[in-house]
Amino acid sequence: MEESTFLRIAQRYKNRLFAIAFHYCKNRADADDIVQTVLFKWYKSNKPLENDDHIRNWLIHVTINECKRLLLSPWHKRTAPLEEYAALTFSQPEESDLFMAVMALPPKYRIVVHLYYYEEYATKEIAKLLEISETAVQTRLLRARKKLKLSLQEAWDDE
């Protein structure tokens, strides 16, 4: 692979991959490591990828798998998360409330919310990426929306 092609793709997708990894790990260092690992795997793969959508799908699929691998590792189970997202700043209080509510969701709900609303994948595409049924994706989205509605309603009622 040419270095210029790799750099172009890495620049284009690194933030998306980081966001997905951060939603899984809730940790900047782990998310950075995962993005680095995914980009390295892509660089070494020498796979001919047809177009940007195919590259994007491949990178996101590998990112999700690397996140799952990290979360299942014995080392990760013995550490405590640093909850770095609490220090993030937002331009509007509503954005902060929404982000915190999404981050409070269980990982299986967080990732489908991210892929659906931020990456704009269809439920069918999410099912393929996560290797679950389309019905499971729809159910997770429905449950995530209910949990978000409840938690955001409570936050706004407190104000």
pLDDT at 130 exceeding the cut of 70: yes
**Mean of pLDDT values over 71-96:** 63
Q: At a CB cut-off of 8 Å and minimum separation 6, what does 101 contact? A: 147, 148, 151, 152, 155
Neighbours of 143 (CB within 10 A): 15
132 pLDDT band, cuts 50/70/90, is: very high
Write down the pTM of the prediction: 0.66
Angle at 104 (CA atoms; ends 103, 110), nearest 5 degrees:
55
**18: pLDDT strictly greater than 90:** yes
Each residue's pLDDT tens digit, 20-61: 998 888 888 889 999 999 999 988 887 776 788 888 889 999
Query: What radius of gyration, in Å, describes the C-alpha atoms of the chain?
Result: 17
Summarised one tens digit per residue, pLDDT across range 94-129 is 677 787 788 888 888 988 998 898 888 899 999 998
Structural domains of the chain in order of their starting residue, each with its CATH number: 1-87 (1.10.1740), 88-159 (1.10.10.10)
* Model pLDDT, residue 28: 85
Model confidence at 90, in pLDDT bands (50, 70, 90)?
low
Distance from chain centroid for Cα 156: 26
- The secondary structure of 102-134 as a DSSP string is HHHS-HHHHHHHIIIIIS---HHHHHHHHTS-H
- The rounded distance, in Å, linking the Cα atoms of 11 and 64 is 19
